[in-house]
Amino acid sequence: MNILVIGSGGREHALAWKLAQSPKAGKVYVAPGNGGTARDARLVNVPITDIQALADFAQANKIVLTVVGPEAPLAAGVVDEFRARGLRIFGPTQKAAQLESSKAFAKDFMKRHGIPTAFYETFTDTEAAHAFVDKHGAPIVIKADGLAAGKGVVVAMTLEEAHQAVDWMLLDNTLGVQHNEGGARVVIEEFLAGEEASFIVMSDGKNVSVLATSQDHKRLLDGDEGPNTGGMGAYSPAPVVTPNVYAKAMQEIIQPTLAGMAKDGVPFTGFLYAGLMIDAHGNPKTLEFNCRMGDPETQPIMMRLKSDLIDVFLHATDGTLDQVELDWDRRVALGVVLAAADYPLNPRKGDVITGLPAEADDAMVFHAGTTMGEDGQVRTSGGRVLCVTALGDSVKLAQQRAYDYMRGIQFDGMQFRTDIGWRAIKAR
C-alpha cells in the first residue's frame, strides 16, 4: 500500500524509515522530505507543502494512509481536508490541534478539566506582562501563544531575561512565532522544579496506545547550559518515568485530557505528547501539550519499535487501538543532534556534509535540516541538521555507540553536545 508522510524533519525521516520496513509498504512518499529521505531508495520525496495539493496528490497516487509529522499543517487543518475527501489520515483536527497551537487554549483547558499544570496568566499588553513578572520574580517561564517550532518558550532565571522575553514575544517577535488570531499573546507561568520527560501516546478518539517513554535535552550546551533549542538529543526509555509516575501521568493527565476533549465536543485523534515536569516526590505536572511526536524523541523511539508501524496506524485510524500491543526492543536508544553553525538564533545554511556512515543494524543517521544538491552533495538547510541514533544494552553503551558512529561526520560550524543521556547515567 502507498503511504504519505507529511513533513521535512528528523521526526518524518524516522517515521518514513520505520514505515518502509513493513512488508505491507508499497511506495512511501515524504512531502517535502529532506536530503536523508532523498538518499533512501525506499522513500520518494514529493515537493509539495500546500494542503489542497497534498490531498490531490493522495487521491491521484492511491495513498492508503497519510501520517502528519509537524505541527504547522495540523494547525492549518490538513486532517480536516483529507477527511472531507474520505482519505485516511492520522492526526488531530484543526480544532483539536489547538492544544499545541495555542498555549492559552491549552492552559485554559487544563484549568477547566483539573489537569495538573503550573499557575499562569495570559497577556497581550506588554506593560501588564512586565508588571506580572516584577510581582512574581524569577525564575519564571514566558511562552509565546502560537507555533514557534519548539523555540517559543523562555525559562527566565533572572528578571532581566524575563523582561527581554516579554519584549521578544509581544513587541518584535524575535523568535518568529506564528501568532494566533488576535495577534501576539504570552502565557507567563510559575517555574516548576524537577526533571522533564516526554510522555507520548497515540489516540484513536477512544482508545490509547502508550509509546516508549523518552527524555530530551533542550539546552544547547553540555550540562544543560546555554539557550533553549528544539532539542539537542534524546534517549528512550526515560528512567525518571517510574511505574508510579507512569500511572499518575495516565490517570491524572492523559485520560482526563482525552475525556475533556471529547466532553468539549472535540474528540482527539493522533499523537498526544505531554511534556511532564516530575518533582522530587514523583508527581508529574503538565508543562505543555504537543499534538505530534517530539523531535528528537521520535528517532530513538522508532529505533526501539519492533511492531509493524503500518499495522499500528491502520488500527489507530480504524478506532481499534485497543487491539494493539506495541513491541519494544529492550535496549536503550540514544540520539545526538548535530546542529548548524549559529544555531539556535541564526542557523547558517548551505554547508557541505561529509562522512555520513552507512545504516547499521544498531545505528542510523536521521536527517532533519538537510537538502540534496544537484551535485549529489548533502548540505545543511536548517538549524538541527542530523540526529545520530544508536542502540545499546545500557544508556552508557548506547551513548558510546552513537558518539563512535558519528565520528566521521563533518560540516563547517557543526555543534553538538557531548553528554546526551547524562541524567540517566548519573541516576544509575
How is 281-310 classified by DSSP, letter by letter?
Answer: TS-EEEEEEESS--TTTHHHHHHHB-S-HH
Question: Residue 177: its pLDDT value, please?
Answer: 61
Residue tagged 497577556 (cell numbers):
123
Tell me whether residue 108 is exposed, middle or buried, using C-beta atoms within 10 angstroms of its C-beta: 0 to 12, 13 to 18, 19 or more.
Answer: middle
Mean pLDDT confidence for 117-145:
93
For 200-255, what is each residue's pLDDT tens digit?
999 999 999 999 999 999 999 999 999 889 999 999 999 999 999 999 999 999 99
DSSP state letter for 157 = S
For 360-405, what is each residue's pLDDT tens digit?
999 999 999 999 988 999 999 999 999 999 999 999 999 999 999 9
- The percent of residues above 90 in pLDDT, for the chain, comes to 88
Contacting residues for 9 by C-beta, under 8 A, at least 6 apart: 34, 69, 70, 295, 368, 369, 382, 384
With beta carbons less than 8 A apart as the criterion, state whether 348 and 342 touch: yes
Question: Residue 378: its pLDDT value, please?
Answer: 98
CA distances to 299, 381, 418 from 368, in Å: 11, 8, 19
* Helix pair 126-136, 159-167: axis angle to 10 deg: 160
Question: Residue 73: its pLDDT value, please?
Answer: 97
Beta-bridge partner residues of 334: 235, 390
Mean pLDDT confidence for 395-422:
98
Mean pLDDT confidence for 327-348:
97
Q: Which band of pLDDT confidence, cut at 50, 70 and 90, is reported for residue 336?
A: very high
Question: Residue 181: its pLDDT value, please?
Answer: 67
Beta-bridge partner residues of 215: 235
Indicate whether 67 pLDDT > 60. Answer: yes
Contacting residues for 369 by C-beta, under 8 A, at least 6 apart: 9, 34, 340, 347, 349, 380, 381, 382, 383, 384, 385
With beta carbons less than 8 A apart as the criterion, state whether 314 and 90 touch: no
Mean pLDDT confidence for 116-120:
93
Q: Which band of pLDDT confidence, cut at 50, 70 and 90, is reported for residue 153?
A: confident
With beta carbons less than 8 A apart as the criterion, state whether 253 and 288 touch: no
CA distances to 22, 128, 144, 182, 193 from 174, in Å: 43, 20, 11, 18, 27
For 166-205, what is each residue's pLDDT tens digit?
998 888 766 566 676 667 889 999 999 999 999 999 999 9
